[in-house]
Amino acid sequence: MRIAIISDIHGNLVALQSILPEIKKADRIVCLGDVAAVGPQPHETIAFIRRTKWPCVLGNADEALVKSMPETYDRLPEGEKGRMMSLDKWTRSEIDTTDRRFLSRFKPTIEIKGRSHSLLCYHGSPRSNTEQILPTTTEEELGKIFQGKDDQVYAGGHTHSQMVRKFGASHIINPGSVGLPFIKAVDGRVTNPVWAEYAVLTTSGDSLKVELRRQRYSKGDLKEAVLRSGMPDPEWWLKDWI
């Protein structure tokens, strides 16, 4: 069985469409949440995901949209904070009741069972869609996070950083971000590469293979979508994409 795992589309339908030819080769596709927020195509992305009928986990940004809860962005400088809050407000105005109802049906976790392996999907962790699981998360803390779980594979997003690590006899996967990947430099500057990240999990008998993949797409196509969207401060949103 081949399962394509995607996460954190963040309203970037241009990025998602760039990987469709590859992920559609999989037997199943699962989305780990944060479908629409802070990108140029929130309504269009939700509508597309709704048509696919892919199972989706409830991300923290999805939950915020369902409940119309604005983010505070307290850790950002004042100028950046104001722009992000304006973007959130615009996103909430772009999605409708049908969109919110669809997002509200996303589950906190999804389990996919195969003949020899099981996959547990979540956004941040099985216990919270805002919790981060990192390469540096201790084995002791992982034991608490996955207490009572016995799946062979755990898959979550939220950090926008690709990862595969072992935990006991299990694997922990983060496919990265389809629509908002980022690279953080030593000086703290963040840039967004114009590629879509995802993972492919292949199982056959007792064997298991994990591939972390990236697909480049056109920055011009992304820019066109942004400028056409009506989102606030489009040039500011685009400035860090490389």
Query: For residue 184, what are the domain limits?
Result: 2-230
- Residue 138: CATH number of its domain: 3.60.21.10
| pLDDT band, very low/low/confident/very high, at 65 (cuts 50, 70, 90) | very high
Write down the residue that tokens 């992304």 correspond to: 222
Q: What tokens does 205 get?
A: 């008998």
Q: How confident is the model at residue 210 (pLDDT cuts 50, 70, 90)?
A: very high
Question: What mean pLDDT comes out for the span 25-32?
Answer: 98
Does 205 fall in a domain? yes
Q: Does the structure show a pLDDT above 90 at 76?
A: no
Residue 129 binned pLDDT confidence (cut-offs 50, 70, 90): very high
Q: Please enumerate in sequence order all residues whose Cβ is within 8 A of that of 188, keeping only pairs 6 or more positions apart, or say none.
A: none
Q: Name the more confident of 190 and 137.
A: 137
Alpha-carbon gap, residue 59 to 62, rounded angstroms: 5
Q: Quick check: is 241 in a domain?
A: no
Distance CA(7)–CA(131), nearest Å, equals: 15
19 HSE (CA, 13 A, CB side): 28
Residue 226 pLDDT exceeds 90: yes
| 23 domain residue, yes or no | yes
- What is the pTM assigned to this prediction? 0.96
| Among candidate residues 26, 55, 58, 19, the one with its CA nearest the CA of residue 198 | 19
Question: Binning pLDDT at 50, 70 and 90, where does residue 75 land?
Answer: confident
Residue 237 lies in a domain: no
Indicate whether 115 pLDDT > 90: no
Does residue 240 lie in a domain region?
no
Tell me, what amino acid is at 86?
S
Summarize the confidence of residues 49-71 as an average pLDDT.
Answer: 95
Q: Is residue 80 part of a domain?
A: yes
Q: Measured between alpha carbons, how far is 34 from 132 in angstroms, rounded to an integer?
A: 14
The total number of structural domains that make up the chain: 1
In a domain, 235, yes or no: no
The per-residue pLDDT for 77 is 83
Residue 239 falls inside a structural domain: no
- 154: which strand partners? 120, 172
> Residue 192: what pLDDT?
97
pLDDT, position 70: 81
